[in-house]
Amino acid sequence: MDMFIIRGGRALAGEVTVSGAKNAALPIMAASLAVDGPCRLRNVPDLVDVRTLSTLLRELGMSVTRDKNGDLVLSTSNDSPFVAEYEQVRRMRASICVLGPLLGRRKRACVSLPGGCNIGHRPIDLHLKGLAALGADIRVERGYVVAEAERLKGADVYLGGPFGSTVTGTCNVMSAAVFAEGTTTIEAAACEPEVVDLGHFLNSMGANISGLGTPFLRIAGVERLTGTEHTVIPDRIEAATLMMAAAITGGDITLDSVRADHMTAVIEKLREIGVTIDVDGQRMRVRCLQELSPTDCIALPYPGIPTDVQAQLTALLSTVPGISIVTDKVFPDRFMHVSELLRMGAQIRREGNNSIVSSSSQLSGASVMASDLRASAALILAALAADGESVVRRIYHLDRGYERLEDKLRQLGADVRRVNDEPSNVPASLLPQEESGETPLQPPHFTRTSQVTRASTEDSPG
């Protein structure tokens, strides 16, 4: 198991290229199950989640290879498998994205219910409601969703839930509806750019989807999809994370391969608190030229501030003088990062789905533990700004969704090292003094009198 050792206090500077979007690549890879002929995907990040899904797709009869250019080439070698085992699905919730394509193209699917998650309750009732509306027979048996449909029929589907729409639910229903007889409308569809990218991928293979990026989709059923080539959009969440790394360290960085039009809410919010952001096509310069101001921000479905940057924003605002409030209306329990930020000196009080953040004059390095993908990013941001060294453990969370983040941060001048998680690698500054070999804490010196007095008192039990 790896951990990061980070020495804070360096203002980031330089240029990095943002990787492809994890949350676009995953549903697009899953949708390749529904295609006759090979698909070539460019700009797919090399992440643990991508490798996990590749393994699952191979178990479902797909050939998945990376060519010498780094493109992912997927093709169906056997279209009979339809079971996504718990062993794979438990590693990554996004495995549920195979449900819609399997049902649409292979007419049946048996997919393990996704496991629990550190960011809160994550049901799939809307996924199942939408697929049932298309005429699928849906059963939940022994932890698996069993879905069958000889021929899906177009229907009017509503995907609104108590926390807005559903991103992967929209992906599943859209991918299945491509093969339904007649026309399907999806009302309260998710508008995230990653859903739009999946729609563009499907349309490039012969699907007929309109309304992408709006809450109202119309899908006219087709008989088959033919292979295509597709370039995955840049990762707006990685870009936002790097922007906040520049802001929290008072740096000056340039990001390449950024879709600023996918990040309006984040750009607006960072500008509002005082970050200087200059956009030039797919390049973006991020500078911290003034003291930042506190703010209120609410994570909402797109085009609102993404819940996937809420933890990183909380870390940034922990270093900004004044009181800020960070609210998450998508995942009301997504606050596992708070307790670890407190260990670094942040002053945060949780109130329901809000973090009340009062600035900490200076965060201090500490040993902290990542609990989920975006919490690990938040702890790294805090460590970049903290005084002294920090250790961030359980970096496997980070590796699920960020491609070589430590390389990118080092390219920007950060002092960050990936090491094995073992005591000998923990910096002496973070060890309890007796372990560090430095002079251990001395107890207060008692004069003899007080010692005599103390002894006599101790001898006579109270």
- Give the active site residues: 117
Of the ranges 11-19, 22-30, 262-270, 284-292, which one interacts with ligand EPZ (CB under 6 A)?
22-30
Asked if 34 and 223 count as a contact pair (C-beta separation under 8 A), the reply is no
Tell me which residues in 410-429 interact with ligand EPZ (CB under 6 A). Answer: none
Provide, rounded to whole angstroms, the least separation between the CB of residue 316 and ligand EPZ: 17
Dihedrals φ, ψ of 77, to 5°? -105, -20
Q: Considering beta carbons, is residue 162 or 443 the nearer one to ligand EPZ?
A: 162
Which of 56, 62, 61, 58 has its CA nearest to residue 85? 56
Question: Contacts with ligand EPZ: how many residues (CB under 6 A)?
Answer: 27
Choice from 10, 374, 393, 397 touching ligand EPZ (CB under 6 A): 374
Choice from 94, 99, 102, 391 touching ligand EPZ (CB under 6 A): 94
H or E segment to which residue 4 belongs: strand 2-7
Q: What angle do CA 308, 312, 318 make, to 5 degrees?
A: 145
Q: Considering beta carbons, is residue 167 or 219 the nearer one to ligand EPZ?
A: 167
H or E segment to which residue 373 belongs: helix 373-385
The residue type at 218: R
Q: How many whole angstroms separate alpha carbon 74 and alpha carbon 461? A: 79
Provide, rounded to whole angstroms, the least separation between the CB of residue 318 and ligand EPZ: 20
Interaction mask 390-409, ligand EPZ, x per CB under 6 A? -----------x--------
Tell me which residues in 197-256 interact with ligand EPZ (CB under 6 A). Answer: none
Q: Does 193 bind ligand EPZ (CB under 6 A)?
A: no
Choice from 157, 330, 344, 391 touching ligand EPZ (CB under 6 A): 330
- 336-343 helix and 373-385 helix, angle to the nearest 10 degrees: 20
Tell me which residues in 118-137 interact with ligand EPZ (CB under 6 A). Answer: 119, 121-127
Q: Considering beta carbons, is residue 23 or 359 the nearer one to ligand EPZ?
A: 23
Q: How many whole angstroms separate alpha carbon 29 and alpha carbon 230? A: 11
Interaction mask 137-176, ligand EPZ, x per CB under 6 A? ------------------------xxx--xxxx-------
Q: What angle do CA 108, 110, 116 make, to 5 degrees?
A: 145
The residue type at 7: R
Choice from 308, 340, 389, 406 touching ligand EPZ (CB under 6 A): 308
| Sign of the Cα pseudo-torsion (60, 66, 72, 74, in order) | negative
Instruction: Let me know if 414 is exposed, middle or buried by CB neighbors in 10 A (0-12, 13-18, 19+).
Output: buried
Choice from 82, 144, 331, 402 touching ligand EPZ (CB under 6 A): 331
Q: Considering beta carbons, is residue 168 or 324 the nearer one to ligand EPZ?
A: 168
Provide, rounded to whole angstroms, the least separation between the CB of residue 373 and ligand EPZ: 5
One-character DSSP codes across 304-320: SB-GGGHHHHHHHHTTS
Q: Considering beta carbons, is residue 197 or 389 the nearer one to ligand EPZ?
A: 197
Which of 395, 252, 373 has its CA nearest to residue 312? 373
- Tokens, residue 347: 């002053």
Interaction mask 334-373, ligand EPZ, x per CB under 6 A? ---------------------------------------x
One-character DSSP codes across 146-192: EEE-SS-B--EEE--BBTB--HHHHHHHHHHHTTSBSEEEEET----
Contact residues toward ligand EPZ (CB under 6 A) are 22-23, 26, 94, 119, 121-127, 161-163, 166-169, 194, 307-308, 330-331, 373-374, 401
